[in-house]
Structure 1
Amino acid sequence: MAPTPTAVLKRLNPLPSAPPVAPPAQAHPLAIPVPEAVELGAPITTLERIHRTEGGPGAALRIARTAATDFKREFTATGTPAHVSTHDLVTLPYPTKFGLWRAPASPSPFLFITNRLVIVRWTDSDGRRRTLLWEPSDTGLGGNTPYFAALQARTPKPLLDTMVHFKATALERLAEVGIDTAEVDYVAFDHLHTQDVRHLIGTIKPQADISPNAPVAAWLPKAKLVVQRTELEAMRDLHPLQRPWYQPDTYVDLDPERILPIDGDRLLAPGVAIIRTPGHATGNQTLVLNTGTGVWALSENMIATECLTPEHSKIPGVKGWARTWGQEVIINANVLETIATQYNSCVVEKTLVDRSQRDSRFLQFFPTSELTARPVFSPGTSPTFVHGSLHHGT
């Protein structure tokens, strides 16, 4: 009798042995360009006190709640963007022990997440229309991330083809909604784990793997990468715990003119903000949107909205873990950089967002990689509630 997909997955180590991505001790940091921080949009001063707290993470958590409450009141008064829409890119496996931290009772080593592109459009005060792409992942090159490359090498190709479902590229999704690539002003990610942005914004030198004879031509000819400056700095000299999740060599030949580093929290437009939510990654950031249904937060700090209200989760183990240990959120923790800080960042997101109009038990936190039901492959990890998509405006 042939083994089931679940049985095959159980034999795969959810922490595969990756090929070395750097010498044990790097002699010199990578020469990744880190331009000076820019004043994009307007600074958000209300949240600054979260990151300047004296004392331990418990004190920081209390301040985070009050600061987020104050910011939400200010943010909702700014207005709303013209357009928000989400678009599926790929569904793929992800270790259960990372996505649901220590809470799940499922025997499956993997669950499944769907990564989505978010398109946001607004009009500046001078009348210019702006377009931001949040999480426009290059799903082809993303597979070269050391962790996923090692996992692919250990997985039989027929099974891999069944597990990974490519739905469309970011460019195809833009074409579907009638947005020209030259209209895109900004691209941004909540953090740069797995991301290779060379195709998106181009390079200044040839690249041996994808363009050996000429610099990479940008798919998005005018777009600039909006990133926390702290993450670029961290990528220059990664810690061993960080290396499996980054592709730092792909950032060395980016054009510095195409990078917009920011330091801190920025209001980009009415109802559009990027705020710091460190923990999952050094420079983690969250997209916050005000829409017709209220405030949303979008990041990968958690993989399901029920991770913000675990008392309502039907995923085996989640509700019990939260109740036993008094934890109000279930974080997505693949790199254990600063767990308590990530927890506090998740509480900021929880405080900011409004309740879902479809089911008030759950909140308008939209994971840009959202837990997806695949019961044959990963029993016991099907979500209780999914947003699936988000649409606002025209």
Structure 2
Amino acid sequence: MADEKVLDDRLTQIGARSIPEFDGVHDVWPRGDRLNAVRDAAAAYKKRFKEQGVIRAAKSVDIAAAPYPVNYAFHDAVSVPSLPILSMINRMVVVQYEDWNGTPRTLVFEPTVPDGSAEAPYYRNLQKLADKVPGGKLFTDFIYKQYNEPGDVLEKLGLSRDDIDFCTFDHLHVQDSRMILGSTEVIEGESAPREPLFGDAKMLVHSRELATLQSMHPMQWAWYVDGSLGGVDPDKFATFDGDIELGVGVSLLWTPGHTDGNHSLVINTEDGVWVSSENGISLDNWQPELSKIPGVRRYHEQFGREICPNSNTLEDSLDQYDSMIKEKTMADPCGDDPRWLQILPSTELAPWKRFWPVVPTYVHGGIDYGTIESGLK
């Protein structure tokens, strides 16, 4: 009981609350029954979630394109010769809503700082390899593209860093918390400690994801930035467990599997419910039966699977499967083409002809609802 009170107090402080529909579903056994329990709970919650109302505004802006192996992107499903590396585009999403205390809030989802991501062991080693081979610079230019820095996005939207209440990532692969939350330590290669990117904003993070950074398994190491918690004020993190709703029309649903602490952004808009995470990097991952990427539909048909996961780190492949069904159940059909769900990958396969035939079958291209306003605090 005491632990529950601590959790409730933590949520009350940020104007959030837990979601009872999902209580206990991740403990259901056997695993086939758990999948059914997850699906049923998502359907039950979706009805109540939509009845509560919609967000004030949301806007997505592209940050950068970075390389990613094809075999990870579609669980080795691609069946034709292609480039071994493709590009995926990270998007930052700004969401404005009212919390359960009636306070207007501004949330930044996926504010990736590319310089920090480049220091993850996987990308650091990839860059070293490119530097050693003939034509490596051309390869780098072929794969990478910089669009915006998170601070530039705020300026474009008419916001200041002090307008931001919270930031969050669906998980902390290739993220350097020091570059977002600030640090008392000097990052290697820099001359002074980093200031917070978003003023006094707190980072919302699932307790299991933060614990992973504090004690990492060797199988997780390559995708997390070494020392990313160094000098960061622990009070800058607002941790939570399970599934929470932040306010009217916005929730963070626990979707474990890709990482233990993975969570998905879910927002309700005038066009219905949108879901965003990196459990997949294109709609083809969630809807393989509609995919035109060679091999992905066959993966669905051959194995009888409703999804084709993004699989660079399958910390638990069954959990990730269940989580993607949770996301599919929550998402509404797209108005422009109702065959497709309103799922916006937090990092999406670039629709560039240079990677044909491994290009997304359908692309939403971002979201834009309402008017982002400054001075809501």
CA distance in 1, matches of 2:174, 2:288: 28
CA distance in 2, matches of 1:208, 1:126: 38
- What is the total number of aligned residue pairs between the two structures? 355
Q: Which residue is equivalent to 2:174?
A: 194
Shift of 1:123: 3.0
Match of 2:262 among 279, 284, 287: 284
Q: Relative to 1, partners in 2 of residues 1:323 and 1:392: Cα closer, same or farther, differing over 3 Å? A: same
Q: Relative to 1, partners in 2 of residues 1:70 and 1:126: Cα closer, same or farther, differing over 3 Å? A: closer
**1:135 equivalent in alignment to 2:110:** yes
Match of 2:295 among 317, 339, 354: 317
Match of 1:177 among 157, 171, 174: 157
Shift of 1:106: 3.4
CA distance in 1, matches of 2:30, 2:76: 23
Percentage of matched positions with identical amino acids: 33
**1:252 equivalent in alignment to 2:230:** yes
Q: Which residue is equivalent to 2:33?
A: 59
Match of 1:165 among 142, 145, 150: 145
Q: Which residue is equivalent to 1:390?
A: 367
Q: Which residue is equivalent to 1:149?
A: 124
Q: Contact (CA 8 Å) 1:93, 1:110: kept in 2 or not?
A: yes
Q: Which residue is equivalent to 2:322?
A: 344
SS at match of 1:295: strand
With the length of structure 1 as denominator, give the TM-score of the two structures.
0.87
Amino acid at match of 2:111: P
Q: Contact (CA 8 Å) 1:106, 1:381: kept in 2 or not?
A: no
CA distance in 2, matches of 1:267, 1:105: 40
Amino acid at match of 1:269: G
Match of 1:49 among 20, 24, 33: 24
Q: Which residue is equivalent to 2:201?
A: 223
Q: Which residue is equivalent to 2:375?
A: none
Q: Relative to 1, partners in 2 of residues 1:169 and 1:233: Cα closer, same or farther, differing over 3 Å? A: same
**1:369 equivalent in alignment to 2:343:** no
Q: Contact (CA 8 Å) 2:100, 2:248: kept in 1 or not?
A: no
Amino acid at match of 2:48: E
CA distance in 2, matches of 1:171, 1:209: 21
Q: Contact (CA 8 Å) 1:111, 1:374: kept in 2 or not?
A: no
CA distance in 2, matches of 1:199, 1:258: 13
CA distance in 2, matches of 1:248, 1:43: 32
Match of 1:206 among 165, 179, 185: 185
How do 1:224-239 and structure 2 match up within 5 A? 224-239=202-217
Q: Contact (CA 8 Å) 1:57, 1:341: kept in 2 or not?
A: no
Amino acid at match of 1:190: D
Shift of 1:127: 5.3
Q: Contact (CA 8 Å) 1:69, 1:351: kept in 2 or not?
A: yes
CA distance in 2, matches of 1:238, 1:260: 20
CA distance in 1, matches of 2:99, 2:24: 28
User: Once structures 1 and 2 are overlaid, which stretch shifts more, 66-75 or 41-50?
Assistant: 41-50
Shift of 1:308: 1.8
Q: Which residue is equivalent to 2:133?
A: none
Shift of 1:169: 0.6
SS at match of 1:367: coil
Runs of 4+ in 1 over 2 A off after TM superposition: 123-129, 210-213, 373-376
Q: Which has the higher helix share?
A: 2
How do 1:67-106 and structure 2 match up within 5 A? 67-106=41-80
Amino acid at match of 2:217: H
Amino acid at match of 1:105: S
Q: Contact (CA 8 Å) 1:206, 1:212: kept in 2 or not?
A: no
Deviations along 1:152-210, one digit per CA (max 9) or x if unpaired, are 1111123202320001111111100101111001010000000012122111x222415
Amino acid at match of 1:182: D
Q: Contact (CA 8 Å) 2:94, 2:109: kept in 1 or not?
A: yes
Amino acid at match of 1:136: P
Unaligned runs of 5+ in 1: 1-35
Deviations along 1:295-335, one digit per CA (max 9) or x if unpaired, are 11100001111322211111111111101110110110101
Q: Which residue is equivalent to 1:4?
A: none
Unaligned runs of 5+ in 2: 1-5, 131-135, 372-377
CA distance in 1, matches of 2:204, 2:197: 16
C-alpha RMSD of the superposition: 1.5
Shift of 1:373: 2.2
